[in-house]
Amino acid sequence: MDTYELIARNTDEVVTDEEVRELAEAPEGKRVYVGYEPSGVLHIGHMLTANKLIDLQEAGMEVVVLLADVHAYLNGKGSFEEIEETAEKMRQQFLAYGLDAERTEFVYGSEYQLDEEYALDLHKLELDTTLNRAQRAMAEIQGDETAKVSHVVYPLMQALDIEYLDLDLAVGGLDQRKVHMLMREELPEIGYDARPCLHTPILADLGTGEGKMSSSSGVTISMEDSPEDIAEKVNSAFCPPTRDPEGDLENPVLEIFRYHVFPRFETVVVERPDEYGGDLEYDDYESLAADLEGGELHPADAKGALAEYLNELVAPGREKLRELEE
């Protein structure tokens, strides 16, 4: 796999392909980031973007993780003291999950977002950005909550963070796309360069294959889950034995294999009794997906293997949480 393929694999969108290919020609030391509102416990959405950060570290890039305490405060997530306590837990879990401590810089937003220079640049963005444009950028992240002034400022800060963290590349889930497009449009208006972006997929709802998996509604998988919790959630997941002919539904079991398991394990073994054909071994996602959709691999066997591999990924973070609580 060449450097560009490693950087771009398992993304839904590369903005722009030309800019990212240029980065791939000399990736060593380039700075890439993801910003997270501190929420305490990593869930499968955090882990998906973390998998991409691990890819980028393997490509030679330096990773910046923004623990966005000011953003969390603006979004009503508690006092600064409470938010920073949960941020520290997240920092420890990211390292336990596999981010390279030598090549990962953790930054609190409050370290620079309260400075005069940042505030003045933020006001410049406020002058240059229409209310509708800012609301549109925040809509997917805000959800159904009634819009507040803080929600309009939030995406402008995200755009400005990319300049102030001295970044070469921004990474986020596809729900961050509108914010990143605002960044690419508005940063040049106040004298700064737009940066390229990578957008990772949003996993489908675990139980139905519709919509998106969410920690706030429905079932998700997190580092708090025990092996039994993970097995129960995976065993109840939507996993049809064949591909949806209408193409309206996603298979969350296959999505987790694709975006979580195969990026972290060279080989996946599905254990089966000899009377059912014995173990199956896969070196790539496409072969496993083809066997599941073709009937060679039973959904129950796929789920059993998925639960085992997910538990192996989650276990170090779960242990770190236990240590922090003692």
Per-residue pLDDT of the chain (326 residues; tens, 9 = 90+): 899 999 999 999 999 999 999 999 999 999 999 999 998 799 999 999 999 999 999 999 999 999 999 999 988 899 999 999 999 999 999 999 999 999 999 999 999 999 999 999 999 999 999 999 998 888 766 666 777 888 899 999 999 999 999 999 999 999 999 999 999 999 999 999 999 999 999 999 999 998 888 765 568 899 999 999 999 999 999 998 877 666 678 999 999 999 999 999 999 999 999 998 999 999 999 999 999 999 999 999 999 999 999 999 999 999 999 998 87
Asked if 292 and 244 count as a contact pair (C-beta separation under 8 A), the reply is: no
Q: How many domains does the chain have?
A: 2
Asked if residue 74 is part of any domain, the answer here is yes
Asked if residue 213 is part of any domain, the answer here is no
Residues 32 and 171 placed together within one structural domain of the fold: yes
Residue for token pair 């920092």? 91
The string of pLDDT tens digits covering residues 153-199 is 999 999 999 999 999 999 999 999 999 999 999 999 999 999 999 99
Asked if residue 211 is part of any domain, the answer here is no
Residues 267 and 169 placed together within one structural domain of the fold: no
Task: Report how far residue 258's alpha carbon sits from residue 152's, in angstroms, rounded to the nearest whole number.
Answer: 35
Residues 233 and 176 placed together within one structural domain of the fold: no
The domain spanning residue 41 has which CATH number?
3.40.50.620
Asked if residue 160 is part of any domain, the answer here is yes
Residue for token pair 């501190």? 38
| Residues facing 173 on adjacent strands | 200
Distance of CA 49 to the CA centre of its chain: 3
From residue 224, alpha-carbon distances to 93, 140, 272, 279, 319 in Å are: 11, 26, 28, 30, 9
Residues 31 and 159 placed together within one structural domain of the fold: yes
| Rg for the chain, CA atoms, rounded | 20
The string of pLDDT tens digits covering residues 223-252 is 999 999 999 999 999 998 877 666 678 999
Residues in the chain: 326
The domain spanning residue 244 has which CATH number?
1.10.240.10
Asked if 236 and 207 count as a contact pair (C-beta separation under 8 A), the reply is: yes
Asked if residue 301 is part of any domain, the answer here is yes
Q: Which of 247, 241, 325 lies closest to 289 in space, CA to CA?
A: 241
Residues 253 and 136 placed together within one structural domain of the fold: no
Confidence (pTM): 0.94
Task: Report how far residue 46's alpha carbon sits from residue 91's, in angstroms, rounded to the nearest whole number.
Answer: 12
Residues 190 and 235 placed together within one structural domain of the fold: no
Task: Report how far residue 5's alpha carbon sits from residue 171's, in angstroms, rounded to the nearest whole number.
Answer: 16
Residues 159 and 237 placed together within one structural domain of the fold: no
Domain enclosing residue 145, as ranges: 3-200
Asked if 261 and 306 count as a contact pair (C-beta separation under 8 A), the reply is: yes
